[in-house]
Chains A and B, each alone.
Chain A
């Protein structure tokens, strides 16, 4: 079965690159522009992985992660923060909330893809 990924970010240019890169790895890609859109998608889909930005309008990344953690059907879904917030306290907070990985922007697409694949292996 295809790996499924949900990319949650409000920057269309970034999303576009990510979408292209993961599709090339044969992922099924879902896209959400903010937390509320992501949660809406997660009602119907169970992706293997969620790439989550933190600073987004309306529902932010932290809140989205908390909602994901509440949902039992998503217990196998891995969540990776992908954000510009790179202070130690931010990283700590993200991991404390239960993220599987915390990656900071700017990033290398290749490296990101390989890390995600590693995480899913």
Chain B
């Protein structure tokens, strides 16, 4: 929990900045830069050593992540179907035109966006509730937290299978609740079940991240607020939420990126039937099952771009700090 001290400290400084007024932030930054300028020889050597030490790791990271990304970009510019190896050719952006004008792609994109928005919103609310409960639990704290984490600990595919059987008429207890109809055969109900399975699985993760955020809220602030006559709702919205903002944004960023890549649950529950494919499912179908490396890679690149845009929006517009990065340097 000691790692939480840094963001907490950082947040306190921003609180201080806010209280002193916006205009003071600029001189503060300038002062910061001035303080940086006279760097001692010792410090500089230390920095150089730091760079040298992390260079190999950085290099490996670049090789490992950059190569596949560049290769899939290269593949996406070709007609490359493993079944027609003799007809491989460079076709420029034609694959992008094919995918971006295809209704299957946009249906999948819409489904993915819907799943992302709905599940993340529900998870945020539920996760916050769960976090508050776990934070305030006095008896059996460890057990309560462990129990809440169980769904997240179960392998997604395994959990998805149990959901599928539960909703299959005859074998499933949940299907029998609804007079033996087959909810996985219809679009709306399958989507609801997919989202339910996602929410069930990842709410604990959300709760865990939010609980770390709750630990940042100083008891003193809450006490002071209640002395001033704030109701518990006011304490929650006016004190806890602002202090927790970085933690909430990080949780949202993680979950949004995660939710956008939804695959396992759909793969097992409907296999994309009844127009319930997500974009990842679609890329898998085209790449692995369809053996169409060109179209499949095009989709992977498009998914990559979307994920990058989501991350950009969170980091630049909402000011989400990546864990470990200093709050002050981001601005």
Q: Do these two chains interact?
A: no
Which residues does B use to contact A, with CB under 8 Å? none
Which residues does A use to contact B, with CB under 8 Å? none
